[in-house]
Amino acid sequence: MSGVMNLAAVFLLLLPGVPAARAQPFHWPRGHRAAVSLSFDDARASQIDIGLGLLREHAVKVTFFVETQNLGQRLEGWKRAVADGHEIGNHTMTHPCTGNYAFSRHNALEDYTLEKIAAELDGANAEIQRLLGVKPRTFAYPCGQKFVGRGLHVRSYVPLVAERFLVGRGYLDESANDPSFCDLAQAMGTPFDDLGFEQMKRLVEEAARDGRWVIFVGHDIGQRGYQVTDATALAKLCDYLKDPVNRLWLGTVGEIGEYLERQRGGASDGR
């Protein structure tokens, strides 16, 4: 079997018209070993109250995936986030997840249709545009879940995300993204809440060994606790990621996603 595969591989290499670029190993630009994005979900108040100042101090730009019903709590702050150059991504209007989570029982993906989830995506985009004047290019699946309905009637809403956004980011994923293979509509998201700096650094270094793209996902920012990215660890991580010695590309989800799309010769469908 492997002999046949090898023969096929050789044949493909010799075949005229097969793009040589496909066979090239992937390299990040400017000698970087890996790419890293920092993202924070839900438009929680601490992201503004604690996060913005910390990020400004370290001159780091992140992606905030906002649940638009929360924007009003810190609207002026979110405008400042945009002015500071952070990316605003879409995280729906009402954050539907499986009804197995008590908070989502009355807004459960099991009870959704594709039309209803499409309205969540488009409604959130419209709200972000109206309140903050920017058009999101990236999306984060609430709870990392990508379906609507039940059983035989389950549908994936990944295609709706692919149609509208450059990147759709997951959550609680166990691997960083392989830049030469990953589907941008289902990019993997690595949690970094409740971790110390050394644990964060280990995740980055594991990814760097394989030249991957880590998209960190956090929620609150402050003192370490449940779904809180530790502010001290985050500050150290920012320093680490920005130190040229470490050869890491720190970019927003949109920036890295755009680079990958360009490498693949795509990005021309107007998203």
- Beta carbon nearer to Zn ion, 157 or 240: 157
- Distance of alpha carbon 265 from alpha carbon 271, whole angstroms: 14
**Least distance CB 141 / Zn ion (angstroms):** 9
- Is residue 28 within 8 Å of residue 249, measured between CB atoms? yes
**Least distance CB 212 / Zn ion (angstroms):** 23
Residue indicated by tokens 């990040």: 28
- Beta carbon nearer to Zn ion, 42 or 193: 42
- Distance of alpha carbon 39 from alpha carbon 146, whole angstroms: 18
- Beta carbon nearer to Zn ion, 42 or 220: 42
- Tokens coding 55: 């990020």
| Binder of Zn ion out of 32, 42, 66, 87 (CB under 5 A) | 42
Q: Segment near Zn ion (CB under 5 A), from 17-25, 39-47, 157-165, 175-183?
A: 39-47
**Least distance CB 65 / Zn ion (angstroms):** 7
- Beta carbon nearer to Zn ion, 187 or 260: 187
Count of positions on this chain that bind Zn ion (CB under 5 A): 3
Q: Segment near Zn ion (CB under 5 A), from 35-43, 56-64, 147-155, 245-253?
A: 35-43
Whole-number Cα distances in Å, 120 to 65, 158, 203, 213: 14, 14, 33, 28
Residue 127 binds Zn ion (CB under 5 A): no
Residue 41 binds Zn ion (CB under 5 A): yes
Q: Segment near Zn ion (CB under 5 A), from 82-90, 134-142, 185-193, 195-203?
A: 134-142
**Least distance CB 250 / Zn ion (angstroms):** 22
Count of all residues that appear for the chain in the document: 271
**Least distance CB 162 / Zn ion (angstroms):** 20
| Residue 22 φ/ψ, nearest 5 degrees | -60, -35
**Least distance CB 139 / Zn ion (angstroms):** 11
C-alpha closest to that of 54 among 222, 244, 225: 222
Half-sphere exposure for 209 (CA within 13 Å, toward CB): 6
- Is residue 217 within 8 Å of residue 192, measured between CB atoms? yes
List the x/- string, 212-231, binding to Zn ion by CB under 5 A.
Answer: --------------------
Nearest residue to Zn ion, by Cβ distance, number only: 41
Residue 120 binds Zn ion (CB under 5 A): no
- Beta carbon nearer to Zn ion, 169 or 212: 169
Query: What are the residues whose beta carbons fall under 8 Å from the beta carbon of 214, sequence distance 6 or more?
Result: 34, 35, 36, 37, 176, 177, 190, 203, 204, 207
Of residues 140-179, those binding Zn ion (CB under 5 A): 142
- Distance of alpha carbon 51 from alpha carbon 48, whole angstroms: 5
Paired residues of 138 in beta bridges: 167
| Residues of this chain that bind Zn ion (CB under 5 A) | 41-42, 142
